[in-house]
Amino acid sequence: MHTIYLAIPCYNEKEVLPETSRQLKEKMFSLINDKKISPNSRIVFIDDGSKDNTWEIISSLHQSDPIFQGIKLSHNKGHQNALLAGLMTLKDRCDAVISLDADLQDDINAFDEMIDKFEDGCEIVYGVRSARKTDTFFKKTTAEGFYKLMNAMGVETVYNHADYRLMSRKALCGLAEFKEVNLFLRGIIPMIGYKSDSVYYERHERLAGESKYPLKKMLAFAMEGITSLSIKPIRLITELGVAIFGVSVIMLIYILVRHFMGATIEGWSSIAVSVWAIGGLQLLAIGIIGEYLGKIYLETKQRPRFIIETFLNDDSSK
């Protein structure tokens, strides 16, 4: 039997943790009783610098039952860094880690199939949504557009997959080789390249509280993913520059022909439009280049992606 750990990033999740912990404990004991996983398997909550009493709840859960463990980050570092902190801390303690969000919108009954595929030799098993029935039209449209945009920009992702996945110890060691500060795990993990597969499930409504990814954060997340893993936007600027140069040559020839034909007229409309269009494109180009320069700046500083303040584990409960 394999030892399986669950890694669950948490940020201000006091409203969902009591029910989340109950359901996960029930599921884990069911898997243990069915001899699908080892009794040494654990549920690990990663507190990403929560401002409510999330950590107090995690500590209480750990004291009440050793199946619960907790990792507390010293400062809020964002969902991706919190998840990475959990994965890197747990990779040498188990055979595989299943990551999921604390709101349990991801169907925990998919654990069984994930573990089966892991036992069949898959190093990474992705949890993929089979449908988006619970999403609004706007959410569904923007989410599907997100994956299409990422793939168009050259970022390899698994369609309709977020961060619900199983990763073996071998895959986690492969992930540890990626040292970048600007994290986009949905794009990095497919680059590991080991044998992988997917399981499909229907997503539930959030247990309580509000989504931690409103539209503004989703747009920032998309920008992070594109600029962290692809240089295609810069190439698009080059291609656009070549196209505009070609148009300018054509316009130059046209103006000269009209001049020698004596058909030129004075006017400001075409000049104004040209100035605004070229100026806007230049600002856009500078902004995209600046985004890449900013990421290079952060990478060269080599700041830690996370700092763990406390780790409640089997040793600390003795």
pLDDT tens for 161-210 read: 888 999 999 999 999 998 887 778 888 899 898 999 999 998 877 655 55
Indicate the length of the chain as a whole number.
318
Between the two ends of the chain, the Cα-to-Cα distance in Å is: 25
**Pair 21, 68: CB distance under 8 Å:** yes
What is the per-residue pLDDT across 128-168, written as a single tens digit (0 to 9) for each? 988 766 666 666 677 677 777 777 766 777 888 888 999 99
pLDDT of residue 176: 93
pLDDT of residue 268: 47
pLDDT of residue 266: 59
Sites in the chain below the pLDDT cut of 50: 268
Helix (H, G, I), strand (E, B) or coil at 206: coil
pLDDT of residue 150: 72
The beta-strand segments (E) located in the chain are 4-10, 42-47, 68-73, 96-99, 124-131, 161-168, 196-202, 308-312
Per the prediction, the chain carries an average pLDDT of 83
Neighbours of 302 (CB within 10 A): 9
pLDDT of residue 273: 58
pLDDT of residue 21: 95
Q: Structure pTM?
A: 0.74
pLDDT of residue 226: 67
pLDDT of residue 288: 78
Strand partners, 167: 97, 124
pLDDT of residue 149: 72
pLDDT of residue 18: 94
